[in-house]
Amino acid sequence: MSKFLVTGSRGQLGQCFQFIANQYPKHKLFFASRSEVNINDQNTLKDYFEKNPFQGIINCAAYTRVDHSESKAQLANKINAEGLKNLIGFAEDNNLILIHFSTDFVFDGFKEDPYQETDHANPLNVYGQSKHEGEKWLQKANCLNVNFRISWLFSPFRKNFVKTIMKASQSGKECAVVNDQWGKPTYGIDLAKAVLSCLEHPNLFKHNTYHYAQEPQTSWFEFAKKIVELSGGSCSVKPISSSKYPTIAKRPSNSVLDTQRLENTLSLNIPSWEGALQHCIKTIRANEVI
């Protein structure tokens, strides 16, 4: 049985791994919150490792508040870059596997076609810059590691776009959503399943970076319409341009991720986000976690 530490266990992605962990009995997962394992403090890592030895780390710890990062660049970099560097050092010292998650926001969105793993990164905002800095540290790491870039993460847990639209749709008021930003949603539970199912795949470390996101590509506006439709909401979704909905942090107009490398290398069939969205809404309602 392989044993992995999951950092950031109370975050959105960490909770997704907890939700499906018992479906993968081959792997023993230790879930640690920030109070138990602070990725910026090697002493907490050492203490936890001594009590619960593990062969690898699945790093779900991250600072993901995109707009807040613009005024809290030091904090974003501390967690997304320096924290990852710290994990890398610990993994190197103890011969551990390291699995990490990055973002579509490392790209500037100027490309018309989907982004491949080899495309040049040029983040538009502080959050994307901090994640890109982390990626650069990972590329230099002397331990087995792999980086999954994901986009538009949603799940039944914590705050995310699906839960925000579901809540807004219950008001019956009009929802204005941008229709000129394109990407692929990623269901955190499907992502967690994909990672755990591939942990023993012989080709997992063939590449240092994979893209994981779910077809078909869509806009935030179309995604919101489907959320309202499937959740039975009563609000009208109105399309607006990004210029009429300014945000503190700039966002790429196109962050569609090409996932062929992942599908071909790991023989993985990625499910559509529409079916995933149905599962997500059902789970949210069952657990009353809006």
* Structural domain contains residue 153: yes
Domain that holds residue 93: 2-160+184-216+256-271
Q: Is residue 79 part of a domain?
A: yes
Q: Is residue 55 part of a domain?
A: yes
Q: Is the pLDDT of residue 209 over 90?
A: yes
Residue 76: predicted pLDDT: 97
Range from 27-41, 103-117, 207-221, 229-243 carrying the lowest mean pLDDT:
229-243
> Contact at 8 Å (CB) between 197 and 260?
no
Give the total number of structural domains in the chain: 1
Overall size of the chain counted in residues: 290
Cis check for the bond before 271: say yes or no (omega within 30 of 0): no
Q: Which of 58, 60, 59, 41 lies closest to 4, judged by CA? A: 58
245 within a domain of the structure (yes/no) = no
Report if residue 225 sits inside a domain. no
Cβ–Cβ under 8 Å, residues 185 and 151: yes
Instruction: Supply the CATH number for residue 13's domain.
Output: 3.40.50.720
In a domain, 232, yes or no: no
- The answer to the question of residue 196 being in a domain is yes
Q: Residue 67 falls within a domain, yes or no? A: yes
Q: Is the per-residue pLDDT at 22 higher than 60?
A: yes
> For residue 248, what pLDDT is reported?
95
Average pLDDT, the chain: 95
pLDDT digits (tens, 9 = 90+) for 125-163: 999 999 999 999 999 999 999 999 999 999 999 999 999
Residue 190 scores a pLDDT above 80: yes
Distance from chain centroid for Cα 145 = 17
CA angle 164, 236, 273 (to 5 degrees): 50
